[in-house]
Amino acid sequence: MDLIKNDRSEIGKVYNCHNRDGNICVGWGLNQRDRNTPSIALRLLLRSDPEAARQYGEITDGGHALFGSVEEMCTANLRAAMQDEESEAHEKGDEYDRK
């Protein structure tokens, strides 16, 4: 939930792609762009790093539907992670405890 807390902060934080390829997270970046780049940390990065500025200017949704907010994205990702854990436990024959 670090993402939600930092998204609500004026200073914010820059989030990179979950693929760990060194790129800015596309979904988060598009959300920032749609909201006129509220993250001060991202603004500073864009001014100081030409490659980050290039990436930010070129990101698209690639035709995919995106979440309406950071909160929606976090909720969906948490659900998916819990389902993955439950599936793995089931495959191993273990009990899964939903806490």
Tens of pLDDT, residues 31-60: 889 889 888 999 999 999 999 999 999 999
Q: What is the pLDDT of residue 44?
A: 95
pTM value > 0.85: no
Q: What is the pLDDT of residue 51?
A: 92
Residue 98 domain-assigned?
no
Residue 97 domain-assigned?
no
Q: What is the pLDDT of residue 95?
A: 61
Average pLDDT, the chain: 81
Residue 13 domain-assigned?
yes
Residue 83 domain-assigned?
yes
Question: Could you list the residue range(s) of the whole structural domain that residue 65 is in?
Answer: 2-92
Distances (CA, A) of 86 to 23, 26, 42, 62, 92: 30, 28, 36, 30, 10
Residue 51 domain-assigned?
yes
The count of domains in the chain is 1
Give the percent of the chain with pLDDT over 90: 20
**Residues paired with 16 in a beta bridge:** 24
